[in-house]
């Protein structure tokens, strides 16, 4: 654990109440210590860095001014909330962040009463804070609701839907726009800070309210005064849009200036109705490398600060994201109709090189998953060939568009679905547990899950050539080390599986009468675990392992044939068992009246905790050791029963 003794003032902060007695000078020292503590700790653990470094002063000011946890602060998105965790009694646990059994990388209601709302996906804060503001009003309570939304999250329609509703309700709500890319306005300085203090002050709000009453009987004079104010503010601040939505716009102000933040927030706390505070911060503040390359340090690996990289075994295998990146570059070079689309995940989805080499065919739509899918549908209507690169967990947000705008019209859109299955340290909010379940019930969809890198590359090619909606779903992280070749050893055929392991010939005819036959239908990259388990069990059972390749259409013939000739049929997938690929097999067998002992292995009916992929797979019995244990527990050699 980082020695808090190195940070004497921070060591005295066990809750936000400890901030109340500190003066501005002490708070400035605290900000420096908090930033140093964050850098030192994440240098060992890794984690989200740039955004948190940029919110240090804002976090201090919010907890100094507001009475948390009674007052509600909702962080959007959650990776800017590490300083919040530190100041709310979790500093001594920060070493455990994103590790199994440790702190979550995002605000989580079950972790702390100071985490007012659980987040992981973006653009939810205004809706949640508005709901809390309405609840306060309806129950006669006086707590304040504050939404801290990053400028990236403002690209999502949901944020504006909530802003529009809040302004219409005249709710007591503060929305803070953390403009950490200078994307809205660069005019931050003394004049803007001064103007913000005036606009947030009680004198200004009182004069404005009384003037409206006095001039209300003279509409033309009131309209003239209103327009004069709007034009004056428009010369200095970019808040006209938010004013039109019904908010009192204040800012922009320097989000690293603690005295200005304290004065402005204290003033706003006394105001009623919807308030909008625009602050400008710098991502990576206080760490030059992150200031210069904030995206690179969005999620930092251990050793980024001390330059002492953690000693881990390095595999030469490509990640599945890198496989996609290679494929789309190759495909784009062959077909000028190919368009690459992503909802704000250029780096994560492997589109950096594509965006540079084919910039005219690359579209980052921002955090607007619904729009990304319907945009692709519109392009497909006009003979373009769109490829939507999207995380599994984010595709959930575009489910209606997937059904109505793509599948219903049977349009040739390829979905390259990254982060399928257990995702690791980001935990439940980012785990791709449900995609096989929610996609396979959609007509016209073809769904594939590769077992290795080479298969992933060729499945993308297959999907692109189909001319109908198709999805290739692959996990986070490295593959098994399979090189990409010009052709697959066993070419893809729509809805056809391949046998990859069969040890039947290792037994004599007499032995086969005593050895149980176990067939494993594997969907996706857990095939490698099944093959490892087979090596441990090969002397006990007759094993047949099938790489199913397609979830939809399913290889019904193989499933039925194996069910009729197996003592135990196992389905294996990195997806929730409910409604997943195993359920598809069950439906086929039930539809044909085939009776066979069947075991569906996959993710259980719960949200997985954070931890490494290997740890979570082990906990759920989806690694080779777990498969061996499960098989031995479910079936015994026939000779033992005689």
Q: Show which residues are catalytic.
A: 283, 369, 397
Which run of H or E residues covers position 74? Answer: strand 72-76
Q: Is 373:439 a contact under the CB 8 Å cutoff?
A: no
Please, which residues bridge with residue 601 across strands?
Answer: 572
DSSP 526-560: THHHHHHHHHHHTTTSEEEEEE--EEES--HHHHH
Distance CA 456, CA 493 (A): 14
CA 597 – CA 247 distance, rounded (Å): 62
Q: Tell me: cis bond preceding 438? Omega within 30 of 0 counts.
A: no
Distance from C-alpha of 602 to C-alpha of 421, rounded to nearest angstrom = 9
Segment holding 572, helix H or strand E: strand 568-576
Of 200, 71, 81, the residue nearest 146 (C-alpha): 71
Write b or e for each residue in 406-416: b if 16 or more Cβ atoms lie within 10 A of its Cβ, otherwise e. Answer: bbeeebbbbbb
Run of H or E including 461: helix 453-466
Distance CA 19, CA 27 (A): 8
Neighbours of 9 (CB within 10 A): 17
Three-state SS at 637: coil
Determine how β-strand 385-391 pairs with β-strand 568-576.
Answer: unpaired
Q: Is residue 286 left, alpha or beta, with left meaning phi > 0 and alpha meaning psi from -120 to 50?
A: left
Residues 6+ apart with CB under 8 A from 25: none
Beta bridge pairs of residue 341: 363, 388
Query: How many residues are there in the chain?
Result: 642
d(CA 357, CA 176): 37
State how far the Cα of 203 lies from the Cα of 243, in Å rounded to an integer: 19
Type and span of the H or E element at 462? helix 453-466
Considering only CA atoms, which of 145, 310, 275, 144 is closest in space to residue 199? 275
* Backbone dihedral angles phi then psi of residue 80, each to the nearest 5 degrees: -95, 10
The span from the CA of 389 to the CA of 386, in Å, is: 10
- Give Cα separations from 371 to 155, 221, 344, 419 (angstroms): 11, 43, 12, 20
Give me the residue label for tokens 């056809």: 496
- Bridge-based pairing of strands 47-48 and 299-300 is antiparallel
Quick one: tokens of 29? 């020292």
Q: Distance between CA atoms of 451 and 526, rounded to whole angstroms?
A: 7
């Amino acid at each position: 654990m980082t020695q808090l003794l190195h940070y004497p003032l921070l060591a005295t902060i066990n809750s936000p109440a400890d901030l109340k007695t500190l003066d501005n000078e002490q708070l400035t020292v605290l900000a420096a210590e908090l930033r140093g503590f964050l850098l030192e700790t994440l240098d060992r653990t890794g984690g989200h860095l740039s955004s948190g470094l940029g919110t240090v002063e804002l976090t201090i000011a919010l907890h100094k001014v507001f009475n948390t946890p009674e007052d509600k602060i909702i962080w959007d998105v959650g990776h800017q909330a590490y300083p919040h965790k530190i100041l709310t009694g979790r500093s001594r646990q920060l070493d455990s962040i994103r590790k199994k059994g440790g702190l979550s990388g995002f605000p989580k209601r079950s972790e702390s009463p100071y985490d007012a709302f659980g987040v992981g996906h973006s653009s939810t804060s205004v809706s949640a804070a508005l709901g809390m503001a309405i609840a306060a009003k309806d129950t006669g309570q006086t707590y304040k609701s504050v939404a801290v939304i990053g400028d990236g999250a403002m690209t999502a329609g949901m944020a504006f839907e909530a802003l529009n509703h809040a302004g219409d309700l005249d709710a007591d709500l503060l929305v803070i726009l953390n403009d950490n890319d200078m994307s809205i306005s660069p005019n931050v300085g003394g004049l803007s800070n001064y103007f913000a203090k005036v606009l947030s002050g009680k004198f200004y709000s009182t004069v404005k309210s009384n003037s409206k009453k006095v001039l209300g009987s003279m509409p033309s004079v009131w309209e003239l005064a209103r327009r004069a104010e709007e034009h004056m503010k428009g010369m200095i601040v970019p808040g006209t849009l938010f004013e039109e939505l019904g908010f009192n716009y204040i800012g922009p102000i320097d989000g690293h200036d603690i005295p200005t933040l304290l004065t402005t927030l204290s003033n706003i706390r006394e105001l009623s109705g919807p308030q909008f505070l625009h602050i400008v911060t710098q991502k990576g503040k206080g760490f030059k490398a992150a200031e210069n390359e904030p995206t690179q340090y969005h999620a930092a690996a251990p050793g980024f600060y001390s330059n002492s990289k953690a000693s881990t075994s390095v595999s030469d295998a490509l990640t599945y994201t890198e496989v996609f990146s290679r494929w789309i570059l190759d495909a784009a070079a062959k077909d000028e109709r190919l368009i690459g689309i992503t909802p704000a995940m250029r780096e994560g989805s492997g589109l950096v090189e594509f965006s540079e080499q084919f910039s005219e065919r690359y579209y980052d739509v921002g955090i607007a998953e619904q729009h990304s899918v319907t945009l692709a549908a519109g392009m497909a209507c006009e003979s373009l060939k769109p490829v939507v690169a999207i995380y599994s967990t984010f595709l959930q947000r575009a489910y209606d568009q997937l059904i109505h705008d793509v599948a219903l019209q049977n349009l040739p859109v390829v979905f390259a679905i990254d982060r399928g299955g257990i995702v690791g340290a980001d935990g439940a909010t980012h785990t791709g547990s449900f995609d096989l379940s929610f996609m396979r019930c959609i007509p016209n969809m073809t769904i594939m899950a590769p077992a290795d890198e080479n298969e992933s590359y060729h499945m993308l090619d297959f999907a692109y050539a189909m001319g109908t909606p198709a999805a290739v779903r692959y996990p986070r992280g490295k593959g098994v080390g399979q090189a990409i070749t010009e052709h697959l050893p066993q070419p893809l055929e729509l809805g056809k599986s391949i046998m990859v392991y069969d040890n039947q010939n290792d037994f004599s005819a007499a032995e086969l009468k005593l050895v149980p036959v176990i067939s494993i239908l594997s969907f996706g990259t857990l095939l490698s675990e099944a093959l490892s388990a087979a090596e441990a069990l090969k002397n006990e059972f007759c094993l047949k392992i099938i790489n199913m390749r397609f979830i939809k259409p399913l290889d019904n013939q193989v499933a039925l044939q194996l069910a009729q000739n197996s003592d135990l049929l196992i389905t294996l997938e990195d997806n929730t068992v409910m409604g997943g690929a195993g359920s598809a097999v069950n439906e086929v067998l039930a539809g044909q009246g085939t009776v066979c002992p069947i075991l569906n292995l996959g993710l259980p009916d719960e949200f997985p905790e954070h931890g490494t992929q290997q740890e979570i797979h082990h906990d759920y019995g989806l690694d080779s050791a777990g498969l061996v244990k499960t098989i031995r527990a479910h079936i015994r050699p026939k000779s033992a029963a005689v």
